[in-house]
Structure formats: structure tokens, C-alpha cells
Structure 1
């Protein structure tokens, strides 16, 4: 990246205008011969030792999209979308709901101030597209005196009703929706219900159902008489048409831009607003004077920060990416963020939407501005690279309040889908420099219990955004259950460790059942090194239950037989399988040892009734726990398995494994009754270790070795000092027969939590340390 440059507006215009020439493939790769794709585009976030204490602020009524949606992502309790405070000293906050209501909140009680949906019925439209509907509201800094505020909403061309007004500029073709900015003037600014007049300020037409006008706002740091005072900023997306079209770089269209207008002026199109003469492209041939910055896909949320002795002001933008990069930009007049030729600080090639590439050597000449903070995201194996992988940044705010000094100078923002809260230090967010390190904040309720946002929302898709009042206090806003929480305190949050240090390099997979893949709740993300995504079979996302096995855990997975009286295959289990081998499990190929470890709680009848038998007293002769399949397995052959099976006519807890694919297995069985080792309704930590070089196996319960015996004499593994077969395991099975999904077999009526796979046979000391670590 080039060094930071302080530029006059005139210089910014000259440099940026040159960068707006459409880039050819040749230009993108100047002096770079066939660059390979970037495998890991952004550094990982770190877990902060700081936590936020959240207090419930308000609960909003349930609302429905118009028309009724088919997209489950729109089926929310309430699509509340932001929070601000009226600039009138009343302390009232305002909250828009995409489905139509604009609420005022006093003392935690929301009241409808204006029903935008009703005002624009039947054209009002919120039933398709993540940002459709009543997207945002902002109040003029002189609202107390002039009663003026602004809203943006979407309408569907062709809906029944009067003809729609023409768009301010030619719409994208074909046009799916209009995004409309409206000015409202209240008869009485102090009233709790709106009464007054309105007029249309601006109307834009978009071809897609996404990426229209996201936010409109005034710069709250600008004072009367300042150049920015009373000017309205608009974050305008590319309409979902930015890939390969050049739209975000086209200076003749408002799409993919930040606009700045004077709503009190009249020299804009139709005389409904003015164009500030200080805008960077005023007078540039072929450029719209309203444009403030260019080259954006989905500019979601922006805010300003004013600090320092000189009162320096910075504008920060959270920008939602296409393939991999969620970014924060420091916005200055005339900036070009590069979309759709750049995503973050990488080359985006519209002909290859599955990869990002290094910048060309002549990139500094092209005038692009790159993020000051960024993070990436990886879809599960096999997920189409052009499909939404379920991550999206929502921009936030730099904390400058007085009550929480630990947050001072930190820019807080969220991943709106996952509901995670991050921060970066404003002092490290420098234009032209390396991207600032970002940290994830822990979240706590007022009882001091650590929570994930899905625990607070009751939904794995939190739909989380951030708001701020005029004192600088911060709020978290969730569509999932229509609640808002206020950040009321900070707390020391020790970074939880999932694995003891000596085992950390060997952890292949970790499933805590608190990290669903956002686009499919029936898939669990592997937090280990392998990133082997796990399928929750038959029960899907309903299998995650609010019952953690150890301190720091809030959830586990429920397994078991669903209907004990009917022949079928509805048992809840989990696994992953590929007949060609699961590539991400290659670390378990040819290994000297494996450890299978996790928490188990028996919750129902075990063993389960055999639904394949007419005899009601017939029970299965095994209880499935967890293990790794061999490289030639059809689901039965295992490399390493923790199970309860019949040994000499009696059920026993066992470690069962084989060293060579297709070879004999060996079983190490516990002497003690399995019902004593695994009493019903009690969490127990189990581990099984397999050393293929020596033939030794072991079982552990709550960190202590379980005495047992080998069930086969001699050397069934044909131990020769080498490791297991060099084939890649065909998968993982948890809680029952898998991948066989045609008939029920050996289900486990149990819950499991924090299942871990290691590519070594852990020592007794390591198992004990791991148990103590997790039980702290």
C-alpha cells in the first residue's frame, strides 16, 4: 500500500478521476506474471480479554414483511435496523423497522411515531431482499426547531396503486425496486406521534433486490456554520449488479457510491435538493456532482468520530464484500474503494469470482483506497463460491463516551449474521498503512454469565447491528427476537482455551455446537485446524440445545432415537462422509496415533429399542458415541472409535480401532459397568487414545485412566512400528450409524459437547490437563 497522503480536495479529484478509467485484465496484472490466488486474505481476529455487559433496553412488537416472504432470512421477529437519539435534548431514541414502523423509545418503551409502510401503501415493499423496506431514518440537527427528518424506503414498480414518480436518474434496467428518500416536517417536534407534511427528495431505481440505499445520515460532529452542517450522506449500493458491469466505477450513475446532498437546496435534478459545491466531483465532465466517494458494492453503515485537540473528524464505513472480505474504510472526499476491480486490498476478477489475487506492481498509480480493518470468511468445503456464505459486516462507532473508559478510542462493530462483536483501535486504523488488528469482544448478561449473541436472541442468525445515542453509549440491535441491549459495563474476560498447550498443534477438529454455518443451520463449523464441517442429521439445527457441559459452554448437541415405536430412520446423529476421503481430514492419514475426546451425557433410554424388530423388548446391542472412519469405510470400518458395544454378551464402554484399512480391529474395553461410568443426566468427559506404532489403547473418564482389557489376543493390528494406513479417512460419525441413513442402528440417547479429534495418542498427563482446563 502507498503511504498516507494528505490531499486537498482538488488533488483528490484529479487523482481519483484518473482511477475511474475502467480497468482491463491487462492493467490489473501489470508486471505480475500469472499471480496465484490468495489463500488466506486477512489475518484472524484475536479474542480480547475485554467483555461487554449487556442490559436489555427494549423489546419491539412482532412485524411482518410486505408481501409475505419466502426467504427465511426475512422471517424475523422484528426487522429493527438501527438506533439513534433525537437531537432535541429529550433523550428519546428512534428505531426504524424494515417492515414499516418508525419507533420512538422512552424509558425502554417503544411507541410507533410514524408508519412508513402505511404512508406509502400499496407500493411499499419489504418482502424480498435483505435491505428492502424502511431502511433508515435520520433527524436534522435542527429538528428541535424545524421538525425535519428523513427516511429511506423501497417500493416495487408495478404494484397496484397510483403510478410511481420517475426516478431522479435513469434506473438500472430491468428495474426491480425503487429506493426513495423522503423529507418529513412535524407540526410539533415534541410530539410522540408524527403529524405533519412530507415530500419526496430523491428516487433511485435498482435492478436487483439487494444493495439499494442502505443508510442516510447527517454528520453529528459538524457544528452550525461548518461546511458539512445539514448535508445529507447516502450510502448507495450497486443494486447487486456490480460484478463485471463497471457500475460502481461509472461516474454517471449513483449506484455503488456514497452521495452527499443538501436537502435544503434546489440545484439538483428536479429542484428537490442541492449539490454542495465542495463535493469532490462537482464540475468533472461526465460525473454526478452528488458523488462523494465511489467503488462500493454494499456500503452498509457509516459513522463519524471526532477527537483530539484539533477536533479531527474521521468517517468510517462498514462495507459488505462479495467473495471473502468484510472491510472498514476511512472515507475521505474523492475516495475510490475499487469495487468491482478490487475486493478489500486484492484484485477481484469478475471472470473468476472464486478467488482473490495480489495487487499489480503498478497499483499505487491507480489511486484506490484500501481498508483500515478487514476480516475474511471461508465457506464449508463444496459450498459454491458465488453463493452467500452467511457473513456480513455492519459498521459501528468509535466509543467516546465517559462511562466506560476501557472502550475509549475503540471502533466497535459487528458481524450482523453471526452476532459477533469486534473492535479495532482507532489509533491503529491508518489510511495507507497495515490493517489494524481486530479483536472479538466477549459478551455477558447482567448476572455476569458469558453468552453468545445467539444465546440472547434464541436464534443462531442474530441479525445484529449497532446503535449509538448522543452521549456515546452503544446499543446492540437484533432482528432475531426484536430486542435491543445497552452496553452498560465492561468486564475482564479471560480468553478461554479449548485445548491444553501441548495438544494444541495436534488438534484436527473441534465441535462445540455453538458455531452453525449461517446459511444452513444443520451444518456445524469445525473450530479445529481442519475446518471439517459437520452435518447434523435428521434433526438439523433443532439438535443444538441450551445445555453446556462445562464452564464457558452454553450449548451441546442432542442425539438419539426420536420415535421408539415405529420402524424408520429418524434418529438424530451427526457426521461427514465422502467415499473418496474427506480431504480436510488428511491430517489423520498415516498418523502414529489418534485421540477421540469429548463430553457425553446420557439423557434417555440406552440402549434404544430396536425399531427393526417386532419384539418390543428387543434392544440394540450398541450405543454410538464418536469416531473416525477408515480410508475404505462404508460407515462400519473405523480407524478410531469411542463406543459402547457388546463384549462377551455384556455392553461395555470401549475404544475400538484398526491400524490398517481392511485389517483386523482391536478393542479395549472398560472393566467397570458402563452405566456407572456414564450415569444418566450427568456430564462426563471421555477420551480414547490409539497408538498405532505400539498397539496401545486407553480409555479415560474425567481425566483419569479407566482400567480395562483387550478383547483380542495376539497382534490383530500387525504392529510394525509404523502408523496407520496412509489413506484419508472417509469421515466422522457421531451418535449412531453413519453414513448409513436408510435404517436406524445403535442410536445414542444422549447429549454431546466439545468433541475433539487429535492426530496423536495423548498421554495420561495431557488428558488430565485437558479435562482440568475445560472444567475450570
Structure 2
């Protein structure tokens, strides 16, 4: 749940419980139609990425019919071998384990092991995570050559015995395999393997996801060498309590000892340090429980044993949890910080007043799906992909937990210091993306598809990578860039509130009482394209190229009236050629509270914040009758435009457009009244 400055949600901490203002206003049995009204905050920070590799096209087994899994290459992770060689590894769900990089090797992916070829019942043709799902390398791989994989099987494999009783109506098996390479330094696998565990799942979703070792554990730590296994609910959690039941592995994160033998099949051990060891009716392997689809987890290198999990939700909430041993994340009694009712399945409900008795653990960050108004309870295409707390060499990213929505490709961050258990969920901010030439792009543009299928990876230096199944490409995060961070010095105007410094559309509607510029009478609609009815252009000084406009503005129209607005004009070339920032109380219609262009036609909305499906834009910029500091920056060379309000570090609105590369600035409204003072304009000469 994001908590921007305009948040309408007041969270109240109970014992390990968060009850939002939205919930508090709802009756216990009333569905909550919009669980998190606030969208993630627009960040003025962006990642610069450089393409590193293109992976070969791969095919499913058997041939798929679902377009969501017919991808160029189903690559879903990147890591670095723990042997100092610099080699990176990338699994493809369709079967191949690739190596790339390292001394003497280029960045061209090479097949290290064809996992599919090793198993006659290998299956990847249905289900989003089916096939060769994940791989991790033993911390001592350099000396022992050991690594582990997850894959799925169907067909004749379903006759095999599973480690624990399988789910009713099992359709596939998920298997964890241990491999031992004869030569750990080789770039092609030769060696042996053994099956460690096998689970049966009722549906072709939510199987075994990530397996991994605690990267912050050192030799001698009790966690060192223990393997974490994230096991989904097999799709049954929506209708059963299985994720809450401690006698089954489904809907859990397990922790096992690969070198032990006291597991039920004798192929692994159960660590004595696990929280449920010795408890009647509970599996000793369980580290934490109450999960639907525990997708990706990682540890913060500077906070040993602080583990973050990206948890994919059902119909409403995508969550990040800090997971500790023994935790119950609540599924399927809870989804995010809300109550889930299995007899509904579409909508969420307020938490009960006695929620603290259940000891559920709630997310440290979350966002919702924002379905369209005519939603029919179907999948709207939202799924979180957990990421990493950044501890690499890029200063602007230090301490930020970066993650993504794997479907639409939005990249987010939260401040790791704000992600605190039992506290308000941290603010989620959206990162921009820049290509290696400094052009702002989107992940769908880089992936060549609206369905990005985005994943994160991290190398041994803590640097991050982005992977897309859509086109099978890998990008490295090479730096950070501030949006609209151009030079706006060269010429300036200060004050300039005298009548002679302004050119109004209708002079008799304006007053110039000394230190203020006042639009005293509402404007009238004029012939020609739809544009602000009344405004005045600052005529003092020359035209600007790149420009920064700092000013205090106030809306004089009474707050009781709807659709109140003032506008700040920039890039003004003529009465039918200019940009303007519309600062309004209303963000629910196309024409309000955004960045617009008038180019010899009706005004056109440009800002990134407008959501056409929801008919919702940036949070209302001005809702009262007080003075507000507003800053508008327009970069002529890149077309980047940013609008800031009241000194906040993040922009309220952003846009990119290169139609007008120079012009004048101004102030006005459509049909309201208002005023400005403390004018300061700096810019480059046009």
C-alpha cells in the first residue's frame, strides 16, 4: 500500500495488524471495491539499462496453446556462480540452463545443461511456471560442484511416489534435484544427479517456485548451507484452508538440509533450528506458512537474515513481506492487509476487530490490481515479482528494495528502512527506465510486448539485471538518472508582478496589486480549439528553451465548488501553440489535473499519470484555498516535463513531449479565479 502525501488512508497499528481507513469505514460484511485508493507514487528517479544478451528462442513441451506462455524465451532469473569466475547463470522454463560471461567467455548465452533432456516426463506446455523453474548453486560449488534445480513432470511421472501425500486430483509433480558436476570449472555439465523431493499439485499453477540459500549466511552460521524451498498452494488455497495446515508442504516456505537424511524419503534432512520441529501434526521442514504463490525471495546483504518475499495475490493485492521463521502470512484467510472470504473470491473485506488473536503477519509493502469499472472478477494482469535491496555501486539506489510487476513491466522501489513489520506499509514509488542512449523508454517498449514477463537478477557485486520472456533479452542496470534534470540557467526573471510584464488574453479580467498577479474574473470559452479560457503570458524577458518556473499559486474559487483549477503555461508560441500544467481539485476526468498540449487543435493530455481505464489521474494538486509552491521544469532537448507541488521530492505529474522546444511562460485558468506571487523563472535562451 503506497502512502503518498495525499493519502486518504490512515492506518492504525494493532498487534501485528494493520487496519486501513478504507476498512474502518466499511462494515464487516461489505466488500471493499477499491482496497488501496492511492496508486504507487511517481518517482523522479529512473534506471539506465544496457542490453547485455539475447537468448535463443525456445519451445514448450508439449506445444502450448496459451499465448501467455508462448514467449521468445522463458528466462526467469539471473544469478552469479559462487566460485569467483564471474559466470552468470540463467534458467529457461522450457528446459535449458545457460551460462554467460566469465573469464574468456563473452556475453553470448551457452547451454550448460539441458534439463529437459534428462527427464522423459518433463512438462512445460501449460501453466505460467511449469518447466525448469529455478536453479541455485551450493555456496561451496567451487569445491563440491553441487547445484539444485526445480522442474515439473506430468504423464507417467504421476505414478511415482511423492515425498508427502499429493493434493487431490494431482495434475503434475514438482521436483527438486541435486546435481554434482565432475568439474565445477567446466562450461558444460558432466556429472550425476539425484532426486531430493517430489510434491504433487492439483493444478498447473502455484507449484515450487524459488529455491535458494541464504546469501547472507557465513560458514558457522546455523543457516549456512540450508536450502529454502518456496512451495505454492497448487491453486487450491482459494477454496481450502490447506495453506494454513501445518501437515502439508503446500502454501509454505520450507527449509531443508540437503546433506541430511532424516527427511521422510531419506534424501534430505530437517534442520533442528526450524520453528515447528517436534510439534505434533506439523512438518518440521516448514519455515513459514500461509502463502498462495510465494514467487521470489531474497536477503538484504547489509541486514543479515532479513528476508523479503514477493507474494503474488489472488484478485486484488500484490505484496512484499519480511519473512521470519514461524510466520503465518494469512492466506487464504487474508490477502494483503484485508480479509479474504473463500465464498466470495472476488472482493476483499475489512479485518475483524479481534484480528490480533490470529497473529497473522502483514505486508511491509503492497499495491492493488485496479480493475476496470466493468470488472467481471477475471484476471486483470497484475503479479508481483520480488526483487532485491540494492547494495551495489550506484549511489542513488542505495538501500532501495527494487521489484516489479512481472506482467506489465512497471519497476518499483521502496526504501528498505520504511519496510517495517507491524507498521504502515512502505510507500511504493515507480521508477522510470532509460536506454543506454539516455532516452526514456518503457519496459513494454524494450520487450516489444505489452506483456513483459519481467524478472530481476543480481550478480555477485550486487548489481541488478532485468529479464523479459517476451523477447528473451537481458539488460543490466548501469546507473540512475533524475527525470527532467536539465540545465535551466542562462537567463532569469524574478518578481515581475507589474502590469507591464504581462500580456493577458482579456486584460480587464486581471489585477496587478503590487506583489501578486490576480485573475479576478473567470474566463469565457473562446472560439477555436479547446484550451484554457483565460491566461496571461509573461512578456518580460526573452523566450526560454529549457525552463524552470517556480511560483506560489492560490485558487480563489470557493472550495465548495467543483472542478476548481489554475494553469501554468510554458512553451508558449501562440494562443494555439503551448503547454500547460492543470492544477485541480478533480483528478477523475480527462481534462483536469494533468499536463496538456495545445497544438492548433483541442488540448491533448500528455502526462504519465492518466489511467484511461479507471478515468483517474495524478492525485489532486490543490484542494484548498491556501498558497501552494509549484515548480514546473521543461527540458527542451529531451521533452521531459515535471510538475512538483509544495516542495515534495517526487513530481506530481510527468510527461515527455518535444513539440515545442522554446516559448514563454504564463498563468491562468479555464473558468475559475486565482493568483500568483513569488515568481522566479530561469531558463536557457531559445
Q: Same fold (TM over 0.5)?
A: yes
Query: How many Å separate the matches in 2 of 1:487 and 1:530?
Result: 28
Kindly provide the CA deviation profile for residues 675-705 of structure 1, in whole angstroms up to 9, marking residues without a partner as x: xxxxxxx989xxxxxxxxxxxxxxxxx999x
Query: How many Å separate the matches in 1 of 2:124 and 2:612?
Result: 31
- Tell me, yes or no, if the aligned pair for 2:274 and 2:286 is still in contact at 8 Å: yes
> Quick check: 87-96 or 246-255, which moved more?
246-255
Secondary structure (helix, strand or coil) at the match of 2:300 reads strand
Name the counterpart of 1:394: 385
Q: Residue 408 of structure 2 is aligned with which of 415, 418, 437?
A: 418
Secondary structure (helix, strand or coil) at the match of 2:475 reads strand
Name the counterpart of 1:725: none
Name the counterpart of 2:109: 110
Secondary structure (helix, strand or coil) at the match of 2:116 reads helix
Q: Residue 337 of structure 1 is aligned with which of 309, 329, 337?
A: 329
Name the counterpart of 2:447: 457
Secondary structure (helix, strand or coil) at the match of 1:455 reads helix
Determine whether 1:218 maps to 2:213: yes
Name the counterpart of 2:198: 203
Kindly provide the CA deviation profile for residues 56-85 of structure 1, in whole angstroms up to 9, marking residues without a partner as x: 111100001111111110111100010000
Query: How many Å separate the matches in 2 of 1:178 and 1:74?
Result: 19
Query: How many Å separate the matches in 1 of 2:322 and 2:249?
Result: 20
Query: How many Å separate the matches in 1 of 2:76 and 2:345?
Result: 30
- Tell me, yes or no, if the aligned pair for 1:515 and 1:524 is still in contact at 8 Å: no
Q: Residue 364 of structure 1 is aligned with which of 333, 356, 360?
A: 356
> Quick check: 391-400 or 501-510, which moved more?
501-510
Query: Structure 2 matches for 1:491-570, cutoff 5 A?
Result: 491-494=481-484, 500-503=581-584, 505=586, 508-509=589-590, 525=613, 528-529=616-617, 551=639
Query: How many Å separate the matches in 2 of 1:760 and 1:156?
Result: 64
Name the counterpart of 2:564: none
Secondary structure (helix, strand or coil) at the match of 1:487 reads strand
Q: Residue 252 of structure 1 is aligned with which of 247, 251, 255?
A: 247
Question: Runs of 5+ in structure 2 lacking a partner?
Answer: 1-11, 18-22, 486-547, 549-567, 569-578, 592-603, 620-637, 642-654, 676-685
Name the counterpart of 2:35: 41
Kindly provide the CA deviation profile for residues 519-574 of structure 1, in whole angstroms up to 9, marking residues without a partner as x: xxxx974563599xxxxxxxxxxxxxxxxxx9359xxxxxxxxxxxxxxxxxxxxx
> Are residues 530 and 552 of structure 1, via their aligned partners in 2, closer, same or farther at CA, if it must alter by over 3 Å?
closer
Name the counterpart of 1:478: 468
- Tell me, yes or no, if the aligned pair for 2:207 and 2:233 is still in contact at 8 Å: yes
Query: Structure 2 matches for 1:8-19, cutoff 5 A?
Result: none
> Are residues 193 and 38 of structure 1, via their aligned partners in 2, closer, same or farther at CA, if it must alter by over 3 Å?
same
Secondary structure (helix, strand or coil) at the match of 2:396 reads helix
- Give 1:143 deviation, angstroms: 0.1
Kindly provide the CA deviation profile for residues 126-183 of structure 1, in whole angstroms up to 9, marking residues without a partner as x: 010000010000000000000000000001133xxx7753111111110111000000
Secondary structure (helix, strand or coil) at the match of 1:502 reads strand
Secondary structure (helix, strand or coil) at the match of 2:68 reads helix
Name the counterpart of 2:67: 72
Query: How many Å separate the matches in 1 of 2:171 and 2:639?
Result: 50
Determine whether 1:126 maps to 2:124: yes
Secondary structure (helix, strand or coil) at the match of 2:345 reads strand
Query: How many Å separate the matches in 1 of 2:609 and 2:45?
Result: 24
> Are residues 90 and 514 of structure 1, via their aligned partners in 2, closer, same or farther at CA, if it must alter by over 3 Å?
farther
> Are residues 100 and 514 of structure 1, via their aligned partners in 2, closer, same or farther at CA, if it must alter by over 3 Å?
farther
Query: How many Å separate the matches in 1 of 2:607 and 2:671?
Result: 26
- Give 1:450 deviation, angstroms: 0.3
Query: How many Å separate the matches in 2 of 1:431 and 1:348?
Result: 21
> Are residues 477 and 166 of structure 1, via their aligned partners in 2, closer, same or farther at CA, if it must alter by over 3 Å?
same
- Tell me, yes or no, if the aligned pair for 2:145 and 2:182 is still in contact at 8 Å: yes
Determine whether 1:432 maps to 2:422: yes
Query: Structure 2 matches for 1:187-336, cutoff 5 A?
Result: 187-307=182-302, 312-336=304-328
Larger radius of gyration: 1
Query: How many Å separate the matches in 1 of 2:152 and 2:254?
Result: 18
Question: Runs of 5+ in structure 1 lacking a partner?
Answer: 6-15, 17-28, 518-522, 532-549, 554-597, 601-681, 685-701, 705-758, 766-775
Name the counterpart of 1:13: none
Q: Residue 141 of structure 2 is aligned with which of 137, 140, 143?
A: 143
- Give 1:515 deviation, angstroms: 9.2
Query: How many Å separate the matches in 1 of 2:142 and 2:656?
Result: 59
**Given the two structures, how large is their TM-score scaled by the length of structure 1?**
0.62
Query: Structure 2 matches for 1:339-738, cutoff 5 A?
Result: 339-385=331-377, 387-401=378-392, 403-494=393-484, 500-503=581-584, 505=586, 508-509=589-590, 525=613, 528-529=616-617, 551=639
> Are residues 173 and 137 of structure 1, via their aligned partners in 2, closer, same or farther at CA, if it must alter by over 3 Å?
same
- Give 1:312 deviation, angstroms: 4.0
Secondary structure (helix, strand or coil) at the match of 1:500 reads strand
- Give 1:223 deviation, angstroms: 0.5
Query: How many Å separate the matches in 2 of 1:188 and 1:599?
Result: 52
Secondary structure (helix, strand or coil) at the match of 2:590 reads strand
- Give 1:315 deviation, angstroms: 0.2
- Tell me, yes or no, if the aligned pair for 1:423 and 1:441 is still in contact at 8 Å: yes
- Tell me, yes or no, if the aligned pair for 2:173 and 2:201 is still in contact at 8 Å: yes
- Give 1:37 deviation, angstroms: 2.6
> Are residues 114 and 157 of structure 1, via their aligned partners in 2, closer, same or farther at CA, if it must alter by over 3 Å?
same
Name the counterpart of 1:741: none
Query: How many Å separate the matches in 1 of 2:175 and 2:465?
Result: 27
Secondary structure (helix, strand or coil) at the match of 2:380 reads coil
- Give 1:34 deviation, angstroms: 3.9
- Give 1:44 deviation, angstroms: 1.9
Query: How many Å separate the matches in 2 of 1:407 and 1:3?
Result: 32
Secondary structure (helix, strand or coil) at the match of 1:138 reads strand
Query: How many Å separate the matches in 2 of 1:334 and 1:349?
Result: 24
- Give 1:506 deviation, angstroms: 5.9
Secondary structure (helix, strand or coil) at the match of 1:501 reads strand
Name the counterpart of 1:565: none
- Tell me, yes or no, if the aligned pair for 1:503 and 1:762 is still in contact at 8 Å: no
- Give 1:353 deviation, angstroms: 1.9
> Quick check: 245-254 or 189-198, which moved more?
245-254
Query: How many Å separate the matches in 2 of 1:58 and 1:238?
Result: 34
**How many aligned positions are there?**
519
Name the counterpart of 2:552: none
Secondary structure (helix, strand or coil) at the match of 2:470 reads coil
- Tell me, yes or no, if the aligned pair for 2:387 and 2:402 is still in contact at 8 Å: yes
- Give 1:405 deviation, angstroms: 1.1
- Tell me, yes or no, if the aligned pair for 1:154 and 1:177 is still in contact at 8 Å: yes
- Give 1:381 deviation, angstroms: 2.6
Query: How many Å separate the matches in 2 of 1:86 and 1:109?
Result: 16
- Tell me, yes or no, if the aligned pair for 1:157 and 1:178 is still in contact at 8 Å: no
- Give 1:382 deviation, angstroms: 2.2
- Tell me, yes or no, if the aligned pair for 1:516 and 1:524 is still in contact at 8 Å: no
- Give 1:377 deviation, angstroms: 1.4
Query: How many Å separate the matches in 1 of 2:167 and 2:337?
Result: 28
Secondary structure (helix, strand or coil) at the match of 1:505 reads coil
> Are residues 481 and 432 of structure 1, via their aligned partners in 2, closer, same or farther at CA, if it must alter by over 3 Å?
same
Secondary structure (helix, strand or coil) at the match of 2:306 reads strand
- Tell me, yes or no, if the aligned pair for 1:329 and 1:373 is still in contact at 8 Å: yes
Query: How many Å separate the matches in 2 of 1:499 and 1:174?
Result: 60
> Are residues 322 and 599 of structure 1, via their aligned partners in 2, closer, same or farther at CA, if it must alter by over 3 Å?
closer
Query: How many Å separate the matches in 2 of 1:433 and 1:291?
Result: 25
